[in-house]
């Protein structure tokens, strides 16, 4: 489990393709304290550490994960939002995040709004019912509050979030631009509520 509070902005060092692709990720974490088998959220995707080095760690990524997330598009140098898994007693600063990506969302707009940046995204129809104004989403692993939602005729949904300067400086959103895609995880409370309501129909 994670909270969507990013604690390091890493970078992809290398990719080794295979049955499962191996990614080597540069990090400022003290890798001596990362155990093999530990879970780290990498831009919102929960991955298992299989190897560590002095300033990096490696993870194996299945073809399924590559196909359903943005990871298949990553090239060396790509910025990666990193969060280590929650431990008992840790502060829950964002919202509960599982690290299981539900879909990818496209960045449609980025514009200044006060000192912040307003981003507008488009998400596919299958996750549209779970995105609500003032609700939570995790985008590339970052816990964010939805400001407004607009349904589109084809079932897809547009929604906006504000990225404050601290978040822009410490996550990949500082360099993110329209045309890019991000990993989207819906709020797990919304997921279970929707399922319960569906059972009552």
CATH code where residue 157 lies: 2.40.30.20
Are 128 and 190 members of one domain? yes
Are 74 and 140 members of one domain? no
The answer to whether position 96 is within a domain reads: no
Are 122 and 163 members of one domain? yes
Are 51 and 134 members of one domain? no
pLDDT tens-place values along the chain, 201 residues long: 899 999 999 999 999 998 899 999 999 999 999 999 999 999 999 999 999 999 999 999 999 999 999 999 999 999 999 999 977 666 666 678 999 999 999 999 999 999 999 999 999 999 999 999 999 999 999 999 999 999 999 999 999 999 999 999 999 999 999 999 999 999 877 666 665 565 544
Are 79 and 23 members of one domain? yes
Tell me the C-alpha distance between 106 and 162, whole Å. Answer: 15
Long-range CB pairs of 67-74 (<8 Å, 24+ gap) are 68/101, 68/104, 69/44, 69/45, 69/101, 69/104, 69/183, 70/43, 70/104, 70/140, 70/181, 70/182, 70/183, 71/23, 71/42, 71/43, 71/45, 73/181, 74/12, 74/15, 74/23
DSSP symbol at 109: E
Q: Which two tokens stand for residue 22?
A: 């191996």
The answer to whether position 188 is within a domain reads: yes
Are 68 and 151 members of one domain? no
Residue numbers of the domain that contains 40: 8-84
Domain count, the chain: 2
CB 161 within 8 A of CB 139: yes
Mark which of 51, 84, 117 sits at the end of a domain: 84
This prediction has a pTM of: 0.92
CB 105 within 8 A of CB 184: yes
Are 79 and 110 members of one domain? no
């Amino acid at each position: 489990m994670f909270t969507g509070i990013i604690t390091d902005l890493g970078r992809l060092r290398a990719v080794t393709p295979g049955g499962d692709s191996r990614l080597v990720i540069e990090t400022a974490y003290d890798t001596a304290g990362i155990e093999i088998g530990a879970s780290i959220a990498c831009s919102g995707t929960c991955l298992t550490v299989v190897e560590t080095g002095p300033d990096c760690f490696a993870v194996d990524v299945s073809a399924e994960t590559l196909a359903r997330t943005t990871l298949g598009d990553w090239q060396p140098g790509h910025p990666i939002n990193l969060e280590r898994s929650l431990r008992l007693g840790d502060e829950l600063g964002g919202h509960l995040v599982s690290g299981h990506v539900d879909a990818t969302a496209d960045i449609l707009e980025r514009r200044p709004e006060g000192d912040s940046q307003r981003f507008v995204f488009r998400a596919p129809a299958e996750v549209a019912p779970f995105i609500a104004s003032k609700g939570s989403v995790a985008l590339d692993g970052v816990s964010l509050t939805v400001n407004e939602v607009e349904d589109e005729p084809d079932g897809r949904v547009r929604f906006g979030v504000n990225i404050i300067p601290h978040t822009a400086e410490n996550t990949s959103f500082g360099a993110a631009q329209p045309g890019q895609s991000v990993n989207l995880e819906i709020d797990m409370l919304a997921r279970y509520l929707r399922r319960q309501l569906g059972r009552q129909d």
